[in-house]
A = this chain, B = another copy of it.
């Protein structure tokens, strides 16, 4: 096990009707906040009204900025920064899914920057302060409600980049699984693939002696997969949503990756799909992950046998490890298919002609810089990434 430094101070207020407490929960922490949200769904399903009512009831002054889209855009972040400065807000309240929360975090850090927000993302610049962020989660997926991570898309540059800082962990996140009842099935599935990938990126490692986090990863994955089938079948299954929803939080609050070298290769490869094609992040991950597994498993076959047996429930002779691994990958692909996710890049409209440029962007060589290989379990150079895209074709 490697040394680690863990700090996850987000307060999680979870359960039925919890979103109606938002105003009372935030009152002690803000003089004026920016209410940030996406498109129409929070207005249609009543969440916007309920949160706004709770802010009014608690006498919390606020201004608002809607319009966040999936793969949240830098342009809206810039508007948010201007508005937050002009209005002197001290907290950004994101009501939405990962895109809204990530956009809120970008605004929160941008308010204090004299340079551009994008410079921080592109240059991985350290930040020393940020506005407070709070969230009311409406789509379980990104885990952004308890993480310090944010991903923003620069639409002009066709670049999607992540950034992280402990200062960006939300102060309070409210999670009422009832709010997930109205999610369309494709959003449910994309969210499940995203949270599973957050665990995979931490789980697949060459670090030995990490049994505790191995086990935490495995049980969280099993629980999410089992209950994902239930909510996909019946999106009003509250108890199953509890497991999937809070599972998505646990998946990405860093606990599951403590003391382990992590991977993040699939996320790096997927961001390039979303940057050019604007496809759903979860769908891209569902296509790339099995392809990545097929390409890398020989690097650490015992790790993949463990995955196949302990996560995917593969039975078979340990004397034929490769057969076990391949059966595990096949079961994972079938799971993604069962919740309606695509099985190939072609199916998503992603063309082979872009494989090389995406691979070169993913590894930074496209920007005339030194290559930064992706991944941890196996270092992936741009040629490896092209191969994985081909397997996923």
Q: Using CB atoms and an 8 Å cutoff, list the residues of chain A in contact with chain B.
A: 1-9, 11-16, 18, 208-209, 211-212, 215-216, 218-220, 222-223, 226-227, 239-240, 242-243, 246-247, 250, 255, 258-259
Q: Across the interface, do A227 and B247 meet the contact criterion of CB distance under 8 Å? A: no
Q: Across the interface, do A215 and B209 meet the contact criterion of CB distance under 8 Å? A: no
Which of B1, B7, B12, B226 interacts with A7 by CB under 8 Å?
B12
Q: What is the count of identical protomers in the complex?
A: 2
Q: Across the interface, do B211 and A226 meet the contact criterion of CB distance under 8 Å? A: yes
How far, in Å, is A255 (CB) from chain B's closest CB? 8
Q: Across the interface, do B14 and A5 meet the contact criterion of CB distance under 8 Å? A: yes
Give me 18 other A-B pairs in contact (C-beta within 8 A), A212-B250, A215-B222 excluded.
Answer: A1-B239, A1-B243, A2-B15, A4-B14, A5-B14, A6-B14, A7-B11, A9-B9, A14-B259, A209-B242, A211-B223, A211-B227, A212-B220, A212-B242, A212-B243, A215-B223, A216-B250, A219-B219
List, sorted by A's number, 22 A–B pairs whose CB atoms are closer than 8 Å.
A1-B239, A3-B14, A3-B15, A3-B16, A4-B15, A5-B14, A6-B14, A7-B11, A14-B259, A15-B259, A209-B242, A209-B243, A211-B243, A212-B242, A212-B246, A215-B220, A216-B216, A216-B250, A219-B219, A242-B259, A246-B258, A255-B255
CA distance A258 to B2 in the complex (A): 28
How far, in Å, is A134 (CB) from chain B's closest CB? 13
Closest Cβ neighbor of A246 among chain B residues: B212
Q: Across the interface, do B211 and A1 meet the contact criterion of CB distance under 8 Å? A: no
Q: B residues within 8 A CB of A250?
A: 212, 216, 255
Closest Cβ neighbor of A21 among chain B residues: B5
CA distance A80 to B136 in the complex (A): 43
Q: B residues within 8 A CB of A5?
A: 11-14
CA distance A2 to B211 in the complex (A): 29
Closest Cβ neighbor of A176 among chain B residues: B3
Which of B8, B247, B255 interacts with A212 by CB under 8 Å?
B247
Which of B9, B13, B14, B219 interacts with A218 by CB under 8 Å?
B219
Closest Cβ neighbor of A247 among chain B residues: B212
Q: B residues within 8 A CB of A247?
A: 212
Q: B residues within 8 A CB of A218?
A: 219
Closest Cβ neighbor of A16 among chain B residues: B3
CA distance A293 to B365 in the complex (A): 62
Q: B residues within 8 A CB of A215?
A: 219-220, 222-223
How far, in Å, is A26 (CB) from chain B's closest CB? 14
Closest Cβ neighbor of A18 among chain B residues: B3
How far, in Å, is A298 (CB) from chain B's closest CB? 25
> Which of A16, A211, A255, A258 is the most central at the interface, judged by chain B CB atoms within 10 Å of its CB?
A211
CA distance A211 to B250 in the complex (A): 13
CA distance A243 to B13 in the complex (A): 29
How far, in Å, is A155 (CB) from chain B's closest CB? 36
Closest Cβ neighbor of A15 among chain B residues: B3
Q: Across the interface, do A14 and B227 meet the contact criterion of CB distance under 8 Å? A: no
A11 in contact with B6 given A219-B218, A220-B212 (CB within 8 Å): yes
CA distance A133 to B2 in the complex (A): 26
Q: B residues within 8 A CB of A2?
A: 15
